[in-house]
Structure 1
């Protein structure tokens, strides 16, 4: 499995803001947007281009555009925060959705939404989720994509835990991983250590809110 850890000063600075327990929802969203764009930029490095002529103010130049823009698929809810940064980099990308909740007792993913093209056999897929912890959600999503013919999938995760990376590598599922860091462990509740907490809660607030 191909793994790219984005080692860049700006990525490290944004990741630090996201890790900091003092960072509020607004600061967390802003840092996530910046880091998400950086990771998608890196994940896009080998996308194929097509050439065409473009008129400049003084002459004609050779221009380039993506030959087949990828489809961006967030694992929601936390993955929703990565859609806008991804589209800022690839504005002509399409978007699909996979909804998975976390069972707090078993730590297994509970699917509740699937909005995807029927045939992904000729599409590059960017599967985006801020966190790769146990790997359960990501592996479930990858199986859904494989059932629809996806053969070229890049998982873009901001923080990855070594157990989740190992689960992905040992799954036999074809996918690349682009991440900002690989943290060493999970705690007894399957949260990444040192991690950054629950990305969905830090983006949008707790799941259960008294209004």
Structure 2
């Protein structure tokens, strides 16, 4: 059974206030997105498997646990998803990275693919798809469609802010995946932007306003 999880935490709320503020500069915005990725990703990776190992401490031998060396892949949806990648790699430094390039047609609001590159071992891959915003859901649905075409089944979607319309669309298209977010906003406006939202995440991460 798939899960939809809003990760509640005072520090997440604090960082959300920073990225919503239009006066937050690029450096501060980028850092806040990174930190939110760590905090939300921490919860999204809670069910990763561990295995028992023996470790020699300065005092004695003891039993510990370490992550199983599974085929974990982080997949940012370009370009805004790159803003979450550093934070996710802090959590999972051995993870591999795939890339999916999608851009939104401002008239149709539909995504167009311009890049797709994934590492191998699709059947065993545990995939975390990341994008700061889940707005209309078009990019997320299309990205996961492409990933599933490769035979990848274990998929989790992580975002910072979501709109109800995007969550509903992603759930309907891919009811088998888990969705983790920092907050669920009110609605989409007529241009497909999340309200209250934060504007265009890619522009604010890369300073291309």
TM-score bracket, normalised by the shorter chain, equals: over 0.9
Picking from 125, 130, 133, the partner of 2:132 is 130
Contact 2:97 2:119 in 1 (8 A): no
Distance in 2 between the 1:75 and 1:172 partners?
17
Counterpart among 178, 181, 184 of residue 180 in structure 2: 178
For residue 153 of structure 1, give the secondary structure of its aligned residue in structure 2: strand
In structure 1, what is the equivalent of residue 51 of structure 2? Answer: 50
Distance 1:191 1:57 in 2: 55
Q: Indicate whether 1:191 and 2:173 are aligned.
A: no
TM-score, length basis structure 2: 0.95
**Aligned residue-pair number:** 207
Q: Which residue of 2 aligns with 1:150?
A: 152
**Moved >2 Å (runs of 4+):** none
Alignment partner, residue 101 of structure 1:
103
Between the aligned partners of 1:126 and 1:105, the Cα distance in structure 2 is 29
Q: How does 1:73-112 map to 2 (within 5 A)?
A: 73-112=75-114
Q: Deviations over 1:34-85 (max 9, x none)?
A: 1110011111100011111111111112222211152100001000011110
Q: What SS does structure 2 have at the residue aligned with 1:196?
A: coil
The 5-angstrom pairing of residues 21-36 of structure 1 reads 21-36=22-37
Structure 2 residue runs of 5 or longer lacking an equivalent are: none
Quote the RMSD (CA, aligned, Å): 1.2
Gaps of at least 5 residues in structure 1 are none
| TM-score, normalisation: structure 1 | 0.95
